[in-house]
Structure 1
Amino acid sequence: MIYSIIPFSIQDIYYNYNSSKNFITNLLPNKLKVLLPKILPINFNLNNISKIKFNVNDIKFNTTKYDFTNIPFNTNLNPNYQVILPVEIYQNLQKFKFNFILFEFPKINSKGDLILNGLQKTYILKLQKQLGLYFKKIIKKNNIIYQAYIIFKFNHIISIELINNTEIKLYDFKYKISINLITLLNYLNIPNTFITNFSRYGNSILLNKLLNNHNLNDKLNKNYYKLIKSYFNTPTIELTSNYIQKPENIFLNYEYINQHLHQYFGNRETFSSSYLSTDLILIIDILLDFKFKKRSIPDIDNFGMKKLNTVNDIFLNQLDFILEKRIKILLTFLTKFKLINKKFINNINKKKYISSFKEFFNINPLIQYSDQINSLSKIMHKVKITKTTSSNIKDFNLREIRFSELGKLCLINTSEGINSGLITYLPENIYINSNFTIETPIYNNNLTNETFNSTFLNVFNKEKNNLSFNQISLRKNKSFNKLLNVTFYKNSLNVTPIKNKDILVTKNQVFSLSENLIPFIFYNDPGRSLMGAKMQMQSIPLIYKQKAYVITGTEQLLSRKNNWIYSLQEGIITYVSSYKIIIRDLLNREIIYYLNNYNFSNQNTIINFIPSVWVGERISAGQLLAVNQDFEDNEFSIGNNLSVLYGSYLGYEFEDALIINKSLIYNNIFTSLHLTCYETSFIINNTLIPEFSSINIPKYTSFEKRNLDKFGIIKEGSKILDNDLLIAKISLIKFYSYKDSINKFLSTLFGYRLRNIVDKSIKNSIGNSGRVVKLEFVTNNNITFNNTYLKIRIFIIKQRFLEIGDKLCGRHGNKGVISYISNNVDLPYNWNSISPDLITSPIGVPSRMNLGQLIETILGINCLFSDKRLLINSNLNYKFGANYLKTLLYNYIKESNYYNGYNTNSYNLGKSLFFDGRTGKMLKNSILFGCSFYTKLIHMVKDKVHYRTIGPYSHLTQQPVKGRSQQGGQRFGEMEVWALEAFGSAYNLKELLSYKSDDIKGRTNLNNYLLGTQDLKSSFIPESFNLVLTELKGLALNIESLLINPTDDKVFILSNNF
């Protein structure tokens, strides 16, 4: 398999060539050497200061030390690098030295995460145009103008235009000037004879016309001088009024002309950053080629012309602004303080002046809250990439997949909604080179030799070949007398025989990791494959899990791509536990690896590490020592294999509903753990009265205080329910006013000042019932602030079982909501007395065109009886013939019948007969029964549904407030109404919209009817309907109720508000 030869890890995207070490030691100091002299003023007239010297060569970097324990709850934790610059200031013939802290910027750990305010965040990659040469066609005043423009750093652009066959103009958008290009070449000592000798149009009339249409003694000499000085380095050049000597020393300040010019138009095979005269002449030739239609204009949005924008790029883009702001603060303090003393140094290095990068990173939309539902979602969040820039955001073709993007971006996996096609993911096999451009590995199709020939191609070399999909071929039929292959060349699909010029591409190169986990992906609709990939990233880890029977091979690859615990040295394992692993290396050193077990994720799931080595094992450097809870035998697995029945059961399988066996709950299948943390601080207020906790807090019953200890703090191991008391915290406020007679009387009577008791107790929120597993008391002065002398953290763990309303999904986008939990004895059973674990509707398969789940189900039942697993390719018809998969399924069904005693219908192969579990009678038709892999999604019903009788109302609309946390009403939306209408429950719907809403009169009448005091009347109009009428009146729409007499057609207005 091709991924076995490609080293890949997530940190390569962040630390490929421009690693953090290189960034800190080389790139940043060199950048500061260039920027600081430009920012500093030339003359200093500040308190007799004659000179300020920055010792950039002696720059220092400090870093903060931190522990990963409970990072999400230490909101004051900000691991960062501190850039310290030694400064010398000469004042009054004296020299003062001090360390000037320029700024702090966040630290990126080995996993590619940033920690800001205790929150783990991830940077989203962004595509941007490379600096270099581009061509395009524009229309001005009904004239077609061919334009070449060069993009410099800081978005400086120079364009060269061929205008009306008479002149070649050069426009500088930075200085807003326009000059003749031929005149500029003459100023660079490139005469017309040199241009005609090296140009392919040397003898053409048009080129001679362009060369003669210029004036060397132009009045715009200042503009030419300004351009040459700005964009060219001329260290030994004598600038005269007419020309510049020694043109071989002229080159651009930066590498602006990249490989596009040479790859597209064949100027030179080797890339050179020098900007020679032949390059300028070649640009003129290319514009003339466009004019005479000898070349086609290349695509501006070609993927080869783009590169990845990393965190370091964002940092360097903001460095100028931060430095200028910091130097301005330094100069301001130099004017305020006459002497440079300790107070001056402490004020200039305050935290608020050096944390500008932290503020910028907190508001940057590309730095997002890390998705840590499972290991797959964490990886996919790191390889997410956005295609939008400021220039192409209005392009309608931006969402499409171009030929240059094949192998560079995933074909299917993208964001849903308005960002569809704009935010996508990187494929499985990529290579990021030193220029931060993406290359993909390929292997040539050699018909004579079966050797494996792999190489990396960029976009330009790839376009010279046919792109052949390795596993898509057409079946042999009358029209085609041979096996043909589907190829892709220059944005068009072709059906051609296999050639030596074809480049074979596997699904690992065009799909992301989550897509490659789906078996038989080519038999599914792309929309359903996208859903399957998204839902695998939303699956939560389970207590008990199994490895899938049918796998694709990417499951084991995920364990190597996760940055978990690896060995740094070769040695022998001497100790293994759930807490730590000890290794004795070759130098007889003892190395201890601590496992940070039962830690939080950002989505409140548990991260737990399991050792994968044993005592006495000889390990090598880089070997995996421990994996987290998402892996089983070093293989990614977050679900279970279920026996699935595609049939009907009392109508509970309506739409996408699922019926499950109650034995799944008894056996803790799909049971997950969730962790919640409460944190409170005890502070000392301005009156020096500390907050404290006590069991003797008033206004609480003994039942509410049943789990508290004598200090008013919850006990470890306590089972807590909703609204239970966790910490009984009290704050005291003194009364200082004794003017009132009652206050004076009470203070004289009791002999002490009156105190007002403020209840600041912490209660458990709704839906967080569970068990207290841990208490933490923090009194470290480095963590506490704002007069806080104590922090208490309470960790509550919740065990979630399957219940009606939870979501289960397969790997093919076949998701469903549990609608009924049946007893095992009531479910259908087959000849082997096997009842299904799950029943789903077969109608959803053909309509959604995800046939891969049927193939997996048939192969899975054979694996269940044969006690084996299948590592199978998504399409087997390429190597073994057009009908190989059909033959394979037939053989596996026959093997299950002959060797395992599994009876299937011989007339309807693949299906079997079932009996009704309630009556024992045989069902009429045979049903498809097999084994498939299912996972549990994080969208659980306990987090969404809640109940209330009386709660808060909005004063403006007189409706229940929104939100579960505010004890608001449960939203009964449009789709919920459809569900009741589909079941014909009209009276239930009427009750929900009237009695159970806010029809107070109808609710009172219903209560009296149930008590037997009054007759039941028709329901009244609820208040929510009156609110709708009021909102319509705000739109100038008046609705009135009218009564028409059928005899004389008279109209009576009943009421303005019904």
Structure 2
Amino acid sequence: MNRRLNLDIPQNNTFLLPRDILAAADHLIGMKFGMGTLDDMNHLKNKRIRSVADLLQDQFGLALARLENMVRGTICGAIRHKLIPTPQNLVTSTPLTTTYESFFGLHPLSQVLDRTNPLTQIVHGRKLSYLGPGGLTGRTASFRIRDIHPSHYGRICPIDTSEGINVGLIGSLSIHARIGHWGSIESPFYEISERSKRVQMLYLSPSRDEYYMVATGNSLALNRGIQEEQVVPARYRQEFLTIAWEQVHLRSIFPFQYFSIGASLIPFIEHNDANRALMSSNMQRQAVPLSQSEKCIVGTGLERQVALDSGVPAIAEHEGKIVYTDTDKIIFSGNGDTLSIPLVMYERSNKNTCMHQKPRVPRGKCIKKGQILADGAATVGGELALGKNVLVAYMPWEGYNSEDAVLLSERLVYGDIYTSFHIRKYEIQTHVTSHRPRKNH
């Protein structure tokens, strides 16, 4: 409020003062005569993230209110019948359990973790949604809300969103963005200062970075001998402009800073069409783990970090030596302790894909902290491995690939290049009745 109305009220004052009302009225009168601007409702500084903890806090308050009504009813019934209620009869866990069970089972935003591949696991937890109770709907949301806003850069990916009726309403956090203390999305920047040679990184909220000249961090160094490199593109007050390097206050820390994890795994994304990049980021999450995974030849360099953050590979927690290795466990000793790490053996995921870990360290090998012990599904050497490296020819072949047809080599079939395992679970219940056994599928 101080920044918006140009006031200097102390931060510890949480009450509305007459100065606030007068300053707000003065600002509205000035806008009547063309002085000042209205707040942009689509700006991220006017929005906050409701985390899972906030939703659970609301459910906890609802459960306490139900518990209060139950306790009052029990006390009134005991007084009516002239009984002395015990603490066990007064306070029960039924309101808490029923409230949280209904929340996790019936809430529109409560979803089962998608475990199709390691990328899907980490991307699913970084989704942002306008939908849900108190939010918007896919049929009533306008195009202005779905559109990209300048304040999204470095915070919400401009590419990675859902397709169909919810386009623009379900987004994804950018790769370096974080959630601030008050629910705002913060993005990191490098501060450019002539007085200090030390590089300082700052996390700024959407309400702060619009007062700085923010340049892109694509170039490694500035060549002052070339005049073209002394002028850089920048962002200032929701506008994109070109300024001299001396006028820049902040610069981004990474070229992929503006994209999500899914979009940052697309090679040469700057040469792709935006619609195709959107489809590619969504299709990567549909890739099933293959029986024989393979590293990608052309990548972006983030495959290893994505695999590590997904938690699929088994990683050594400290230095040691491998004592025993098998398909179901790895035993290594270090720091005077012997640790046994169980491996995942043909486990079924929520999407019926096969989750399996393969040991990558031989017996007797000395390992360091953070080293890969076992690869998981769709990882090779601790790197994300989706799909295969195949030779693709863009050419006609006797008319068989006309229009959108694709011609495949028989080696892809007979060589099990794209063979994958799927595990399905079927349950049959058998009941013994008085007449004869009966089974339900």
TM range (shorter): 0.7 to 0.9
Sort the Cα spacing of 1:306 and 1:627 in 2 relative to 1 into closer, same or farther, 3 A: farther
Residues 377-392 of structure 1 mapped to structure 2, 5 A cutoff:
377-388=120-131, 390=134
Residues 131-280 of structure 1 mapped to structure 2, 5 A cutoff:
261-268=1-8, 272-275=11-14, 280=18
**Could you say what secondary structure the match of 1:365 adopts?**
coil
Q: CA deviation at 1:361?
A: 2.1
Normalization by structure 1: what TM-score?
0.37
Q: CA deviation at 1:322?
A: 1.7
1:487 equivalent in alignment to 2:225: no
Residues 493-504 of structure 1 mapped to structure 2, 5 A cutoff:
493-501=240-248, 503-504=250-251
1:308 equivalent in alignment to 2:46: no
Q: CA deviation at 1:290?
A: 3.4
Q: Give distance in 1, aligned partners of 2:83 and 2:431.
A: 39
- Aligned counterpart, 1:288: 26
Give the conservation status (yes or no) of the 8 Å contact 1:579–1:597: yes
Q: CA deviation at 1:296?
A: 2.5
1:512 equivalent in alignment to 2:260: yes
Residues 478-877 of structure 1 mapped to structure 2, 5 A cutoff:
482-483=228-229, 484-501=231-248, 503-505=250-252, 506-564=254-312, 565-569=314-318, 571-586=320-335, 588-614=336-362, 615-620=364-369, 624-685=372-433, 687=434, 733=435, 757=436, 760=439
- Residue-by-residue CA offset, 1:837-877 (whole Å, 9 max, x unaligned): xxxxxxxxxxxxxxxxxxxxxxxxxxxxxxxxxxxxxxxxx
Q: CA deviation at 1:431?
A: 2.4
Q: Give distance in 2, aligned partners of 1:262 and 1:487.
A: 27
Q: Give distance in 2, aligned partners of 1:761 and 1:362.
A: 24
- Aligned counterpart, 1:358: 101
Give the conservation status (yes or no) of the 8 Å contact 1:333–1:348: no
**Could you say what secondary structure the match of 1:418 adopts?**
coil
Instruction: For 2:377, give the aligned amino acid.
Output: Q
More strand by share: 1
Q: Give distance in 1, aligned partners of 2:25 and 2:316.
A: 58
Q: CA deviation at 1:373?
A: 1.0
- Aligned counterpart, 1:417: 164
**Could you say what secondary structure the match of 1:551 adopts?**
coil
Give the conservation status (yes or no) of the 8 Å contact 2:211–2:237: no
Q: Give distance in 1, aligned partners of 2:304 and 2:208.
A: 32
Q: CA deviation at 1:341?
A: 8.5
**Could you say what secondary structure the match of 1:460 adopts?**
helix
Q: Give distance in 2, aligned partners of 1:590 and 1:470.
A: 46
Sort the Cα spacing of 1:434 and 1:492 in 2 relative to 1 into closer, same or farther, 3 A: closer
Sort the Cα spacing of 1:553 and 1:446 in 2 relative to 1 into closer, same or farther, 3 A: farther
Give the conservation status (yes or no) of the 8 Å contact 2:190–2:250: yes
Coordinate RMSD, CA, aligned: 3.3
Q: CA deviation at 1:449?
A: 9.1
**Could you say what secondary structure the match of 1:560 adopts?**
helix
Q: CA deviation at 1:758?
A: 6.1
**Could you say what secondary structure the match of 1:590 adopts?**
strand
Q: Give distance in 2, aligned partners of 1:654 and 1:562.
A: 40
Q: Which runs of 5+ in 1 are unaligned?
A: 1-260, 473-480, 688-732, 734-756, 763-1058
- Aligned counterpart, 1:239: none
Give the conservation status (yes or no) of the 8 Å contact 1:404–1:459: yes
Instruction: For 1:275, give the aligned amino acid.
Output: T
Identity %: 26
Sort the Cα spacing of 1:616 and 1:341 in 2 relative to 1 into closer, same or farther, 3 A: farther
Q: CA deviation at 1:604?
A: 0.4
Sort the Cα spacing of 1:563 and 1:262 in 2 relative to 1 into closer, same or farther, 3 A: farther
- Aligned counterpart, 1:15: none
Q: Give distance in 1, aligned partners of 2:41 and 2:316.
A: 46
Q: CA deviation at 1:488?
A: 2.8
Q: Give distance in 2, aligned partners of 1:761 and 1:390.
A: 41
**Could you say what secondary structure the match of 2:156 adopts?**
coil
**Could you say what secondary structure the match of 1:441 adopts?**
strand
- Aligned counterpart, 2:155: 408
Q: Give distance in 2, aligned partners of 1:627 and 1:579.
A: 13
- Residue-by-residue CA offset, 1:449-478 (whole Å, 9 max, x unaligned): 986443222223211123333449xxxxxx
- Residue-by-residue CA offset, 1:181-239 (whole Å, 9 max, x unaligned): xxxxxxxxxxxxxxxxxxxxxxxxxxxxxxxxxxxxxxxxxxxxxxxxxxxxxxxxxxx
Instruction: For 2:111, give the aligned amino acid.
Output: Q
Give the conservation status (yes or no) of the 8 Å contact 2:289–2:377: yes
1:466 equivalent in alignment to 2:213: yes
Sort the Cα spacing of 1:329 and 1:632 in 2 relative to 1 into closer, same or farther, 3 A: same
Q: Which runs of 5+ in 2 are unaligned?
A: 220-226
Q: CA deviation at 1:668?
A: 1.1
- Residue-by-residue CA offset, 1:751-771 (whole Å, 9 max, x unaligned): xxxxxx566386xxxxxxxxx
Q: CA deviation at 1:637?
A: 0.7
**Could you say what secondary structure the match of 1:443 adopts?**
strand
Sort the Cα spacing of 1:321 and 1:454 in 2 relative to 1 into closer, same or farther, 3 A: closer
- Aligned counterpart, 1:710: none
Q: Give distance in 2, aligned partners of 1:553 and 1:518.
A: 10
Aligned match for 1:371, one of 80, 105, 114: 114
Give the conservation status (yes or no) of the 8 Å contact 1:399–1:420: yes
**Could you say what secondary structure the match of 1:660 adopts?**
coil
